[in-house]
Amino acid sequence: MADQTLIEHLNEILKHEWTGVAQYSQAGFIIEGVWREVYADKFLGDAKESFGHARLIGDKIVALGGVPVATRNEIQQSRDLNEIFTFSLAFEAKAVEMYCKAIELAGDDKALVIFLEDILKEEQDGVDEYTKLLRSSSATSAANPTLKAG
């Protein structure tokens, strides 16, 4: 049986991924106006990514002899696109932190480290993506002079 600390941490990750499923789905459901065309699918896609990670982690917890949690944390929601991006960036950054810690706990288990690194890479992609979205959403505001035609 694997280290209890590792299984507990993987369960914290699983809870975070379930939170992502609900938080991104909700963002996709409630977005209205013209940006709905652009972002509803993007948010539902992120919910699917979280579900994919939840599935991988849940299966791994069982493989390690643990029992996966079926609970989640509170979600953060808003109708303001910029605020959704901010919540999403925080969500992805927390995931990066949690997977980094899991990799530390995996220690010498090379296969587990690689398994976690593969997911970590996708979480970092999420951080990069939302960082850029937050940048471009301020760049598209009329107040930003860099966008004016020169």
Measured from the CB atom, the residue of 10 and 95 that comes closer to Fe ion is 95
Cβ 62 to Fe ion, closest distance in Å?
A: 18
Residues at the contact surface with Fe ion, assessed by CB under 5 A: 53, 95
**Which DSSP category does 147 fall into?**
G
Beta strand spans in 12-123 (E): none
Measured from the CB atom, the residue of 124 and 149 that comes closer to Fe ion is 124
Measured from the CB atom, the residue of 47 and 95 that comes closer to Fe ion is 95
Cβ 33 to Fe ion, closest distance in Å?
A: 28
Measured from the CB atom, the residue of 27 and 95 that comes closer to Fe ion is 95
Residues whose CB falls within 8 Å of the CB of residue 122, separated by 6 or more in sequence, listed in order = 49, 53
Cβ 15 to Fe ion, closest distance in Å?
A: 12
Cβ 126 to Fe ion, closest distance in Å?
A: 7
Burial track 78-113 (b if 16+ CB lie within 10 A, e otherwise): eeebeebbbbbbebbbbbbebbeebbebbeebeebb
